[in-house]
Structure 1
């Protein structure tokens, strides 16, 4: 997943990227104002200082279009207002155009204080008023040009607000992407922890059994156990690789249909170290694996979890697998009880074993149920001389409808 850049280079002032139409309109505006400036200057015989300042204002406009530095662009806006305001009266209000464009530019610039456009416009109005007094221009002329500059302030403020909103939206998207990255990493770490804790815990028990059988001279049985241990280790490694591969492929799932990754696993040995070898099997594989490791488990209820949908069933399988792993590590040889109870429109799954210490697995149990986004809950706590994991999940509506029909 790629995070957005902090600033869009296509738009120096900090807003949205400028389209080719915007560039074209500004270029057309520069060309039209420059044409009438030269034409009127020749016809009216404007003094040299008007030619110089008018050219500076137009140069600032051009610089605003092609400048790449934010400071340079802001400077171009100030030059447009300063040089253009002095030549507004001599050019019969023609140069009011670059003045308004400069005020809009300053008002929309995110790195300039919000009051800068108002102060700049006020200064330009004063300059125009003084120049109009010297040139004996009418009051209506001053009021008209002042209104145009105040309109530029409003337009600049409006564009500024739009850019602020766009920047906040980009920042929110960046934060969302960061949160998604952290969630993906947490999920991968949890999956790897579940796989390794289960497979390595079972592997230790198998190797202990191999050692005991060899000491007893039962070489054939020891060889069988060693083969099972190798199968379990291979399954754990395959599942760890699958968890990492799933994390890498998360960013591509929206761009193209995901290819099946379960097909290559059909030839691998089937063990309960896998998170979801067969969702329809429910807890059966986990119970069989626990017993094959030498553990004792007493079950009650439907081990297939047929009353749950696929997402809730997978979460229960993960939690039960972690609970069985804890039981084998911290209370080996002690009996474990597993109950699946249908209670109206909910299913309660309770697994209890002699006291065990907490760890990352218990945190992973809660995280899995939080990701379901439903009313499902999981509680893990000490009760008398046992450690009890209790799950409460809603019944799958499809299964409920099937029973009613």
Structure 2
């Protein structure tokens, strides 16, 4: 088959917070505080190419992260732990504790605790959203999104009033392709990626919300202007369909939603997500089944939306941010995608509604997550490494790598 190579905002619109305003009590201890992990005393910094890399800390199978307005950081660990991380003047982790009240997760395979995102009005309502795998009846499970109230103190944090506001339907066997990335858009709506759970056909079945991009109100209710709202049931949640395993959602400065998703054997994709459109999986893909059976390419079925970029060989994309900071001025408006099998950070340039890979940085480890920090640095989480935890890394311009991280 012929493999075509087809031709900014952050995941949640929070105002940048001054990291220099950390609580003075953050270095104290409390016998009643949650379990604490002491990070390494010395940070390792290297300079390679356009950025300096500083190791901040290590985690047990980290999956996602988000910055709090007070400068601290939340990091999810797939086995079911949410870490609260204090950062020093140069963003080195000075202390980590477990947040109490995290729900039980179904851990195994690709499942466990997933994404963490703050409500756009977190400074007022303290609402946090988590995604995770939930066990069902028999040998079934599915992704869910829950929201709760995060109470922060100088010593730690606690989640309360946790409620599940969305579930994958139906729960199925297996432990793959949950996707469950979550993001708030500039419209204030909650966006969720729902993987097809390695079951193929549900991505085209409107009686299921698997293999779809979901759009909800912040309380989990369905917006009246969703494209399939008149169909009711789970179809009303759907914004687009025909997706495989979306592990990255990001809005650009014009409010357009982009996703990346893993293809099968070949055919990883970057897509511009449009209202009510069908992206074709498993009817079409620019990859093939793992057993060697061919899947028709996108160009054979023009009724399906084709990706803006396809990758064969694959990059195994995970984590996604569209950069809007001032630390890397040449990269404003560019996308950054973590690569798992490719062990890379992939930079994407956009031109309106088209995109192209512009550069690829060899990171030497599987990259699970990418975020923009409050001061404009890039932050990445490595996937679990053999024999040690996945590292949290800060990527800074080389000349400014030792400067305090302030606004």
Which bracket does the TM-score occupy, shorter chain normalised? under 0.3
Q: Which has the higher helix share?
A: 1
Larger Rg: 1
Q: Which has the higher relative contact order, 1 or 2, with Cα contacts under 8 A spaced 6 or more apart?
A: 2
